[in-house]
Amino acid sequence: MPKKMIGLYPGSFDPVTNGHLDIAKRAYDICDEMHIAVVANPSKKALFPVEERVELLKKTTKHLPKVVISSFNGLLVDYAKEINANIIFRGLRAVSDFEFEFQMALINRSLHPKIEVVFLVPNEKFIFLSSSSIKEVAKLGGNVRGFVPAVVEKALRRVF
């Protein structure tokens, strides 16, 4: 019997963008069970609290029945072990992403040799998107429609 594929797609998702959702859907299609987890990083100044980011992800992935949305603190590999994940998904937009993600993948492999890290590239229409750029556009009153789901656009308008 083939091994059950339990995927984990971690990130800050502050806020979740259509690029994140594109990667999540691609990962979802590969897995038997898919976890999307918000990293609760106290050293980063987040726009949205962890609980709201979790809720936004739940709303934007409700059409994907085998997705579990959660949050975690601490090491990614420890959380992966906790949920029995055997594959971690990361999105790559540019060469600069690759260098950081490659280093993290090597560290994670040394800490948890049985987990695989898979890099996915988003659809080209989302390749330039980042949560930081979306926050900046929204803060300056720009239109973020098409870059984020409607529920996230509404949340950004509320904040700014």
Q: What is the pLDDT of residues 105-142, one digit of tens each?
A: 999 999 999 999 999 999 999 999 999 999 999 999 99
Q: What pLDDT is recorded for position 144?
A: 97
Nearest to 10 by CA among 41, 42, 35, 47: 35
Q: Is pLDDT at 103 greater than 90 in this prediction?
A: yes
For 40-57, b where at least 16 C-beta lie within 10 A, e where not — what string?
A: beeeeebbbebebbbebb
The residues assigned a catalytic role are 20, 44, 93, 131
How do beta strands 33-39 and 67-72 pair?
parallel
Q: 16 is written with which tokens? A: 């979740």
Statement: residue 43 has pLDDT above 80: no
Predicted TM-score (pTM) of the model is 0.95
Task: For the domain covering 6-159, report its CATH number.
Answer: 3.40.50.620
